[in-house]
Amino acid sequence: MSQFERDGYLVLEDVIDRGTIAAIHAEYAELMDKMYDDWHAMGKVPASSSDMNFFDKIDVAINAGIEWYQPLDISLPHSDISKTTPMHIGPAVFKLTTHTNVLAIAEAILGPELTSNPIQHVRIKPPERKVAKHEDRAHIVSTDWHQDLGVTMESADQTDMVTIWLAITDATLENGCLQVKPGVPSEMLPHCTLNQVGITEKHMSRDGAFPTPVRAGGAVVFHPLTPHASLPNNSDEYRWSFDLRFNVTGQSTGRDQFPSFVARSSANAASVLKDWRVWRSMWAETRNRLSQSDHIPQHRWPSDGPSCA
Protein backbone atom coordinates (compact mmCIF):
# COMPACT_ATOMS: atom_id res chain seq x y z
CA MET A 1 0.00 0.00 0.00
CA SER A 2 3.01 2.31 -0.23
CA GLN A 3 1.78 3.71 -3.56
CA PHE A 4 -1.63 4.44 -2.03
CA GLU A 5 -0.03 6.30 0.86
CA ARG A 6 2.21 8.28 -1.53
CA ASP A 7 -0.13 8.94 -4.49
CA GLY A 8 -3.56 8.66 -2.86
CA TYR A 9 -4.89 6.15 -5.33
CA LEU A 10 -4.42 2.65 -6.80
CA VAL A 11 -5.49 1.10 -10.10
CA LEU A 12 -6.17 -2.62 -9.68
CA GLU A 13 -7.21 -5.07 -12.39
CA ASP A 14 -9.39 -8.18 -11.95
CA VAL A 15 -10.94 -7.25 -8.62
CA ILE A 16 -14.40 -8.62 -9.34
CA ASP A 17 -15.06 -11.81 -11.29
CA ARG A 18 -17.02 -12.29 -14.50
CA GLY A 19 -19.87 -14.02 -12.66
CA THR A 20 -20.44 -10.98 -10.43
CA ILE A 21 -20.42 -8.67 -13.46
CA ALA A 22 -22.82 -10.95 -15.35
CA ALA A 23 -25.19 -10.95 -12.37
CA ILE A 24 -25.16 -7.12 -12.33
CA HIS A 25 -25.93 -7.03 -16.05
CA ALA A 26 -28.80 -9.52 -15.62
CA GLU A 27 -30.30 -7.72 -12.61
CA TYR A 28 -30.22 -4.34 -14.32
CA ALA A 29 -31.54 -5.75 -17.60
CA GLU A 30 -34.55 -7.18 -15.76
CA LEU A 31 -35.13 -3.87 -13.98
CA MET A 32 -34.88 -1.92 -17.25
CA ASP A 33 -37.26 -4.32 -19.01
CA LYS A 34 -39.91 -3.63 -16.37
CA MET A 35 -39.31 0.11 -16.49
CA TYR A 36 -39.55 0.14 -20.28
CA ASP A 37 -42.78 -1.88 -20.24
CA ASP A 38 -44.24 0.62 -17.77
CA TRP A 39 -43.20 3.55 -19.98
CA HIS A 40 -44.78 1.84 -22.96
CA ALA A 41 -48.02 1.21 -21.03
CA MET A 42 -48.12 4.96 -20.30
CA GLY A 43 -47.64 5.76 -23.97
CA LYS A 44 -44.21 7.34 -23.47
CA VAL A 45 -42.15 4.97 -25.65
CA PRO A 46 -42.82 2.59 -28.54
CA ALA A 47 -43.02 -1.13 -27.92
CA SER A 48 -39.66 -2.80 -27.41
CA SER A 49 -38.21 -5.20 -29.94
CA SER A 50 -36.35 -8.42 -29.29
CA ASP A 51 -33.02 -6.94 -30.40
CA MET A 52 -33.10 -4.02 -27.93
CA ASN A 53 -30.61 -4.29 -25.09
CA PHE A 54 -30.26 -2.40 -21.81
CA PHE A 55 -28.44 0.54 -23.37
CA ASP A 56 -30.80 0.72 -26.37
CA LYS A 57 -33.68 1.25 -23.96
CA ILE A 58 -31.82 4.03 -22.17
CA ASP A 59 -31.29 5.65 -25.57
CA VAL A 60 -35.05 5.65 -26.13
CA ALA A 61 -35.67 7.07 -22.65
CA ILE A 62 -33.17 9.88 -23.24
CA ASN A 63 -34.80 10.79 -26.54
CA ALA A 64 -38.25 10.73 -24.89
CA GLY A 65 -37.11 12.95 -22.01
CA ILE A 66 -37.82 10.26 -19.41
CA GLU A 67 -36.07 10.18 -16.01
CA TRP A 68 -34.25 6.87 -16.37
CA TYR A 69 -31.29 7.27 -14.01
CA GLN A 70 -32.71 7.58 -10.49
CA PRO A 71 -34.60 4.23 -10.59
CA LEU A 72 -31.24 2.56 -11.32
CA ASP A 73 -29.23 4.30 -8.60
CA ILE A 74 -28.30 2.68 -5.29
CA SER A 75 -28.92 5.83 -3.25
CA LEU A 76 -31.52 8.53 -2.85
CA PRO A 77 -31.14 11.90 -4.60
CA HIS A 78 -29.90 15.11 -3.01
CA SER A 79 -33.36 16.65 -2.59
CA ASP A 80 -37.09 16.28 -3.28
CA ILE A 81 -37.27 12.85 -1.68
CA SER A 82 -40.80 11.47 -1.63
CA LYS A 83 -42.30 8.20 -0.45
CA THR A 84 -42.16 6.95 -4.04
CA THR A 85 -38.71 8.19 -5.07
CA PRO A 86 -37.28 5.17 -6.91
CA MET A 87 -33.89 3.55 -6.30
CA HIS A 88 -32.52 0.05 -6.67
CA ILE A 89 -31.21 -2.40 -4.10
CA GLY A 90 -30.98 -6.01 -5.29
CA PRO A 91 -29.04 -9.20 -4.56
CA ALA A 92 -26.45 -8.64 -7.30
CA VAL A 93 -25.71 -5.10 -6.07
CA PHE A 94 -25.40 -6.39 -2.51
CA LYS A 95 -23.04 -9.16 -3.67
CA LEU A 96 -20.93 -6.54 -5.45
CA THR A 97 -20.84 -4.28 -2.39
CA THR A 98 -19.80 -7.15 -0.14
CA HIS A 99 -17.53 -8.95 -2.61
CA THR A 100 -14.63 -10.65 -0.84
CA ASN A 101 -12.00 -8.90 -2.95
CA VAL A 102 -13.60 -5.49 -2.49
CA LEU A 103 -13.70 -5.93 1.28
CA ALA A 104 -10.11 -7.21 1.29
CA ILE A 105 -8.97 -3.97 -0.36
CA ALA A 106 -10.91 -1.89 2.14
CA GLU A 107 -9.55 -3.93 5.05
CA ALA A 108 -5.96 -3.52 3.86
CA ILE A 109 -6.43 0.26 4.11
CA LEU A 110 -8.85 0.68 7.02
CA GLY A 111 -8.55 -2.46 9.12
CA PRO A 112 -11.05 -5.27 9.78
CA GLU A 113 -13.99 -3.27 11.17
CA LEU A 114 -15.73 -2.10 7.99
CA THR A 115 -19.01 -0.29 7.44
CA SER A 116 -20.57 0.08 4.00
CA ASN A 117 -20.90 3.84 3.64
CA PRO A 118 -24.17 5.06 2.04
CA ILE A 119 -22.49 7.71 -0.14
CA GLN A 120 -22.27 5.46 -3.17
CA HIS A 121 -23.77 5.39 -6.64
CA VAL A 122 -24.11 3.58 -9.90
CA ARG A 123 -22.75 5.63 -12.80
CA ILE A 124 -24.16 4.80 -16.22
CA LYS A 125 -22.71 7.37 -18.58
CA PRO A 126 -24.08 7.66 -22.13
CA PRO A 127 -22.07 9.21 -24.92
CA GLU A 128 -22.29 12.88 -24.00
CA ARG A 129 -23.52 13.83 -27.47
CA LYS A 130 -26.74 11.94 -26.65
CA VAL A 131 -27.41 13.67 -23.34
CA ALA A 132 -29.69 16.69 -23.00
CA LYS A 133 -27.77 19.96 -22.71
CA HIS A 134 -29.33 20.74 -19.32
CA GLU A 135 -28.20 17.41 -17.81
CA ASP A 136 -25.43 18.07 -15.30
CA ARG A 137 -25.59 15.17 -12.86
CA ALA A 138 -22.15 13.71 -12.18
CA HIS A 139 -23.60 10.20 -12.37
CA ILE A 140 -24.52 10.72 -16.04
CA VAL A 141 -22.08 13.25 -17.55
CA SER A 142 -18.42 13.95 -16.85
CA THR A 143 -17.66 14.49 -13.18
CA ASP A 144 -16.02 17.73 -12.00
CA TRP A 145 -12.82 17.72 -9.95
CA HIS A 146 -13.55 16.99 -6.30
CA GLN A 147 -12.36 15.20 -3.18
CA ASP A 148 -14.68 12.51 -1.86
CA LEU A 149 -14.55 14.01 1.62
CA GLY A 150 -15.96 17.14 -0.01
CA VAL A 151 -19.35 15.53 -0.56
CA THR A 152 -19.77 14.66 3.11
CA MET A 153 -20.86 16.72 6.07
CA GLU A 154 -18.38 17.98 8.66
CA SER A 155 -19.21 15.04 10.92
CA ALA A 156 -16.97 12.84 8.72
CA ASP A 157 -13.88 15.05 8.84
CA GLN A 158 -12.16 12.62 11.22
CA THR A 159 -13.58 9.49 9.61
CA ASP A 160 -11.24 6.89 8.13
CA MET A 161 -12.75 6.24 4.71
CA VAL A 162 -11.90 4.82 1.29
CA THR A 163 -13.63 4.82 -2.11
CA ILE A 164 -13.48 1.76 -4.35
CA TRP A 165 -14.62 2.60 -7.89
CA LEU A 166 -15.52 -0.56 -9.81
CA ALA A 167 -15.65 -0.80 -13.60
CA ILE A 168 -18.56 -2.83 -14.98
CA THR A 169 -17.56 -1.98 -18.56
CA ASP A 170 -14.08 -1.08 -19.73
CA ALA A 171 -13.22 2.50 -18.74
CA THR A 172 -11.11 4.08 -21.48
CA LEU A 173 -9.76 7.50 -22.41
CA GLU A 174 -12.46 7.71 -25.07
CA ASN A 175 -15.47 6.76 -22.94
CA GLY A 176 -14.64 8.86 -19.91
CA CYS A 177 -12.33 7.04 -17.50
CA LEU A 178 -11.35 8.71 -14.25
CA GLN A 179 -8.44 11.08 -13.92
CA VAL A 180 -6.56 11.86 -10.73
CA LYS A 181 -4.13 14.38 -9.26
CA PRO A 182 -1.52 12.13 -7.64
CA GLY A 183 -0.77 12.88 -4.02
CA VAL A 184 -2.84 13.48 -0.92
CA PRO A 185 -3.41 17.13 0.04
CA SER A 186 -2.99 17.91 3.71
CA GLU A 187 -6.54 19.23 3.94
CA MET A 188 -9.78 19.56 2.07
CA LEU A 189 -9.77 22.08 -0.76
CA PRO A 190 -12.62 24.59 -1.14
CA HIS A 191 -15.50 23.23 -3.21
CA CYS A 192 -18.26 25.08 -5.00
CA THR A 193 -21.80 23.94 -5.77
CA LEU A 194 -22.91 25.20 -9.13
CA ASN A 195 -23.83 22.33 -11.43
CA GLN A 196 -21.94 19.79 -9.34
CA VAL A 197 -19.92 19.84 -6.13
CA GLY A 198 -16.45 20.59 -7.45
CA ILE A 199 -13.13 22.38 -7.05
CA THR A 200 -12.70 25.43 -9.26
CA GLU A 201 -9.44 26.05 -11.16
CA LYS A 202 -8.83 28.98 -8.82
CA HIS A 203 -8.29 26.49 -6.00
CA MET A 204 -6.63 23.63 -7.90
CA SER A 205 -4.60 23.57 -11.10
CA ARG A 206 -5.48 20.82 -13.59
CA ASP A 207 -1.79 20.41 -14.45
CA GLY A 208 -0.44 16.96 -13.70
CA ALA A 209 -3.78 15.18 -14.06
CA PHE A 210 -3.27 11.50 -14.71
CA PRO A 211 -5.90 9.31 -16.45
CA THR A 212 -6.70 5.88 -14.98
CA PRO A 213 -8.16 3.58 -17.65
CA VAL A 214 -9.12 0.15 -16.31
CA ARG A 215 -10.77 -2.95 -17.74
CA ALA A 216 -14.17 -4.26 -16.67
CA GLY A 217 -13.75 -5.95 -13.30
CA GLY A 218 -10.98 -3.61 -12.24
CA ALA A 219 -11.00 -0.87 -9.63
CA VAL A 220 -9.63 2.58 -8.89
CA VAL A 221 -9.16 3.11 -5.15
CA PHE A 222 -9.12 6.63 -3.68
CA HIS A 223 -8.04 8.31 -0.48
CA PRO A 224 -10.90 10.67 0.56
CA LEU A 225 -8.70 13.76 0.04
CA THR A 226 -7.28 12.80 -3.37
CA PRO A 227 -8.67 15.08 -6.11
CA HIS A 228 -10.18 13.25 -9.06
CA ALA A 229 -12.63 13.77 -11.90
CA SER A 230 -13.74 11.96 -15.03
CA LEU A 231 -13.13 12.65 -18.67
CA PRO A 232 -16.13 13.20 -20.96
CA ASN A 233 -17.56 10.19 -22.77
CA ASN A 234 -16.66 11.00 -26.36
CA SER A 235 -17.19 7.45 -27.57
CA ASP A 236 -20.24 5.74 -29.06
CA GLU A 237 -20.64 3.42 -26.08
CA TYR A 238 -21.87 3.59 -22.49
CA ARG A 239 -19.45 3.60 -19.56
CA TRP A 240 -20.78 1.81 -16.46
CA SER A 241 -19.32 1.76 -12.97
CA PHE A 242 -20.16 1.74 -9.27
CA ASP A 243 -18.41 3.85 -6.69
CA LEU A 244 -18.54 2.19 -3.30
CA ARG A 245 -17.30 3.60 -0.01
CA PHE A 246 -16.30 2.09 3.29
CA ASN A 247 -15.41 3.60 6.65
CA VAL A 248 -14.28 2.31 10.01
CA THR A 249 -17.29 1.04 11.94
CA GLY A 250 -18.48 3.42 14.63
CA GLN A 251 -17.34 6.56 12.80
CA SER A 252 -19.65 9.01 11.05
CA THR A 253 -20.45 8.19 7.44
CA GLY A 254 -20.77 11.88 6.59
CA ARG A 255 -24.36 11.37 5.57
CA ASP A 256 -25.74 9.87 8.74
CA GLN A 257 -29.38 10.30 7.74
CA PHE A 258 -28.81 7.48 5.20
CA PRO A 259 -28.50 3.81 6.22
CA SER A 260 -25.15 2.08 6.52
CA PHE A 261 -24.35 -1.49 7.53
CA VAL A 262 -21.46 -3.53 8.91
CA ALA A 263 -19.82 -5.29 5.96
CA ARG A 264 -16.95 -7.04 7.76
CA SER A 265 -15.93 -7.46 11.40
CA SER A 266 -13.40 -9.59 13.23
CA ALA A 267 -14.56 -8.30 16.61
CA ASN A 268 -18.28 -9.02 16.16
CA ALA A 269 -19.05 -11.37 13.29
CA ALA A 270 -22.73 -11.45 14.24
CA SER A 271 -23.03 -7.74 13.38
CA VAL A 272 -22.23 -8.30 9.69
CA LEU A 273 -25.23 -7.88 7.40
CA LYS A 274 -25.82 -10.96 5.23
CA ASP A 275 -29.30 -10.36 3.81
CA TRP A 276 -29.72 -7.88 0.94
CA ARG A 277 -33.44 -7.60 1.75
CA VAL A 278 -32.61 -6.03 5.12
CA TRP A 279 -30.50 -3.41 3.32
CA ARG A 280 -33.39 -2.69 0.94
CA SER A 281 -35.78 -2.33 3.88
CA MET A 282 -33.38 0.07 5.60
CA TRP A 283 -33.45 2.31 2.53
CA ALA A 284 -37.23 2.09 2.24
CA GLU A 285 -37.64 3.13 5.87
CA THR A 286 -35.17 5.99 5.38
CA ARG A 287 -36.99 7.19 2.28
CA ASN A 288 -40.30 7.23 4.14
CA ARG A 289 -38.79 9.15 7.07
CA LEU A 290 -36.99 11.72 4.93
CA SER A 291 -40.06 12.30 2.77
CA GLN A 292 -41.83 13.61 5.88
CA SER A 293 -38.99 15.73 7.28
CA ASP A 294 -37.36 19.02 6.42
CA HIS A 295 -34.54 18.86 3.89
CA ILE A 296 -31.28 17.55 5.36
CA PRO A 297 -28.16 18.71 3.48
CA GLN A 298 -25.93 16.02 2.03
CA HIS A 299 -22.81 18.18 1.77
CA ARG A 300 -21.50 21.42 3.25
CA TRP A 301 -21.02 23.70 0.22
CA PRO A 302 -23.51 26.46 -0.68
CA SER A 303 -23.88 27.59 -4.30
CA ASP A 304 -23.18 31.18 -3.26
CA GLY A 305 -20.21 30.43 -1.01
CA PRO A 306 -16.85 32.22 -1.17
CA SER A 307 -15.23 29.28 -3.02
CA CYS A 308 -17.54 30.02 -5.97
CA ALA A 309 -16.31 33.60 -6.36
pLDDT digits (tens, 9 = 90+) for 248-271: 999 999 999 999 999 999 999 999
SS3 125: strand
Torsion of CA 160, 230, 217, 63, to 10 degrees: 130
Of 178, 174, 152, give the one whose Cα is nearest residue 166.
178
Topology classification of domain 2-308: Jelly Rolls (2.60.120)
In single-letter form, the type of residue at position 34 comes to: K
Averaged confidence pLDDT in the chain: 95
pTM for this entry? 0.95
| Predicted local distance difference test score (pLDDT) of residue 65 | 96
For residue 309, name the pLDDT band (cuts at 50, 70, 90).
low
Q: Categorize the per-residue pLDDT at 89 as very low, low, confident or very high, splitting at 50, 70 and 90.
A: very high
- pLDDT, tens only, 138-149: 899 999 999 999
Amino acid at residue number 303:
S
> Do 125 and 229 touch, CB atoms closer than 8 A?
no
DSSP letters for 211-277: E--B-TT-EEEE-TT--EEE----SSS-EEEEEEEEEETTS--S-TTS--EEEE-SS-GGGS---HH
User: What is the C-alpha to C-alpha distance for residues 232 and 2, in angstroms, rounded to an integer?
Assistant: 30
